[in-house]
Structure 1
Amino acid sequence: MKLKELAVLFTLAALFGSSFLFVRIASPAIGPFLTSQGRVTFGALGLLAIVLLFRKSVDFRLRWKQYFIIGALNSAIPFTLVSLAAIHLNASLLAIINAMVPFFTAIAVWAWLKEKLVFAKGLGIVLGLIGVVITVGWSPVEPSLEVFLASLCSLLSTVSYAFGGVYAKKTFRNCSPLAVTTGQLVGATLLLIPITLVGFPEQTLNITPAVLPAVLGVALFSTALGYLLYYYLIEHVGPTKTVTVTFLIPPFGMIWGAIFLDEQITPGMIAGLLIILGSLALITGIGKKRSRE
């Protein structure tokens, strides 16, 4: 990766890492379905405003099926699963489990795009997973059935993200990040409307002063702006290297959780993160000269 692309990667990690903080605040208060709906709807409205203001082109008529598919894989399904998990898991643990994305992406790329899984990249993925196991194993969250099911929801979201990244690379060649992100969030908004109506929480909503800023934050910054940078990287460095951002998300997720939610950061979590950061160098090839064709 070039220095510019690495800067984008770390900015994206900070934005995606903040999403777990925002969701952790909103989901227990207004429910997972309304949280996901607000996330994609406000994100789509923000991007549509940019499209109209700068007169950009988003071809909904020709690509509407593709936008629905990418909207489901990269937004509707994983956002809902993460919002469900956020009821029982803290922001730090949500961010850590999200680091499983590269593992499933490598499998999807190998099976779908026939990309070779070189030794260094495979070793980096294994090393990253070891770091995740160490971090989760020393988590301060008390084990229970609810925590197990929440962890499973969070894990399933990474599978959806993985196939979404590969589908984006395969389908949206030569498309601007703005067009893909806008189409994705519009598609996800329409897909989630009936689910939100059916799953709308029956209990009284606990709308605190922090809820609306959390929903707007996850929609405009973590999602709309985040995916603009995400698809920029997909186009320039490919899906496998792009999803290594998930190895950087846990540090940011833990930092945001510690600052704003007083979540505990244990020595085991720090040790696991050091291993994860080491794996990032292997997968992205940092420090190696670009091979000549």
Structure 2
Amino acid sequence: MIRKPTPVDIFLLILVSLIWASTFLAIKVCVDEIGPTWLVAIRVLVGFLAILPWIAWRGLVLPKGGGQWALTLSVALLSIIVPFFLIAWAELTIDSGVTALLMGMGPFFAMLLSHLATEDDRMNLFKVLAVMCGFAGVLTVIGPSAVGGLGDHLLAHAAVLGASLCYSVVGVFVRRVQGIPPTRFSGLILGLSAALLVPYALATGQPDWQGLSAEAIVALVYLGVFPTALGYILRYHLIRTIGQSYFALGLNLIPIFGVSLGALVLDEPVSLSLFVALALVVTGLFFGQRGARQASPPKASTTAATP
């Protein structure tokens, strides 16, 4: 059963939002040098190795039964393999700030999906207004008046929105996986993903390892340790304790952090359209928070995962 967020929960939400916002910056630094396939494979492998000592100490916990294994594999596909590749591929052509802004659709997708798939995370008037603001923000970014060369970047925009939708869908599955603590569950899905991604990357050929810059190497290690290992531990912990909808609301900060980091570190342009989209997302966050406050007290869910 989910509970009311505490000050510690709110701090963790802000922390994971900042960590994940920096993901798009780190990807932009190294994706041109190593390519999306190897970037994702190395990121996942490093993330798994970062969690492995904890798993070795506490012991590996495996899913029980075919249904739980199917759910676990679905989480690995929808929270790691597919969205990681879509985001990395998209950033070959679009800025990290635009990517972060489009990923801000995740909370709004999550509110819709949680309403349809759970009993304790329902929509209300303010959440509906939040979703409308979110979609308006996306239209501001991908509209012809907002971003020049729409035909050149439409597939990249769609890839990012697809990754955002993956994260929203997987939040429903996470609460259905039972009996595995968050850290060990993170390690399990990272291990499964690495077992699939590394052989595939090897089959596609080798990148120019000696030609990698120091910045790209640091970015790859950072991606594995912080957004992947630490970020996913916090994600599953918060989803199971405060609910997917409230967790997703906190992640509305990602576009703000992401656009700011892209402009400050990579000198990416910040157009008027991005400011308008950010304003819409922040407004959506406000409405979503009001909706969360007005929601009825959560009922015990028969599908809630064991912390």
TM-score normalised by the chain length of structure 2? 0.85
Q: Say yes or no: does 1:128 pair with 2:130.
A: no
Paired positions, count: 290
Equivalent residues of 2:43, 2:221 under 8 A apart: yes
Q: Say yes or no: does 1:22 pair with 2:26.
A: yes
Aligned to 2:168: 162
Aligned to 2:255: 250
Q: Which amino acid aligns with 1:6?
A: I
Q: Indicate the RMSD between aligned Cα atoms, in angstroms.
A: 2.6
Structure 1 alignment gaps of length 5 or more: none
Question: Per-residue CA shift, 1:106-134, capped at 9, x if unaligned?
Answer: 33323332553212112112112223333
Aligned to 1:188: 193
Equivalent residues of 2:124, 2:295 under 8 A apart: no
Alpha-carbon distance change, 268 to 141 in structure 1, aligned in 2, over 3 angstroms = closer
Structure 2 alignment gaps of length 5 or more: 299-307
- Matches of 2:292 and 2:79, distance apart in 1: 30
Aligned to 1:283: 288
Aligned to 1:59: 61
- Matches of 1:24 and 1:216, distance apart in 2: 14
Aligned to 1:83: 88
TM-score normalised by the chain length of structure 1? 0.88
Alpha-carbon distance change, 200 to 108 in structure 1, aligned in 2, over 3 angstroms = farther
Aligned to 1:264: 269
Aligned to 2:224: 219
Counterpart mapping for 1:99-178 below 5 A: 99-114=104-119, 115-137=121-143, 142-172=148-178, 175-178=180-183
Question: Per-residue CA shift, 1:76-130, capped at 9, x if unaligned?
Answer: 0100111110100110011011112123323332333255321211211211222
Q: Say yes or no: does 1:5 pair with 2:9.
A: yes
User: How many percent of aligned residue pairs carry the same amino acid?
Assistant: 23
Equivalent residues of 2:48, 2:190 under 8 A apart: yes
Alpha-carbon distance change, 66 to 291 in structure 1, aligned in 2, over 3 angstroms = closer
Aligned to 2:303: none
Aligned to 2:278: 273
Q: Which amino acid aligns with 1:227?
A: Y
Per the TM alignment, residue 268 of structure 1 is displaced from its structure 2 partner at its CA by 3.0
- Matches of 2:210 and 2:161, distance apart in 1: 27
- Matches of 2:150 and 2:220, distance apart in 1: 28
- Matches of 1:175 and 1:112, distance apart in 2: 21
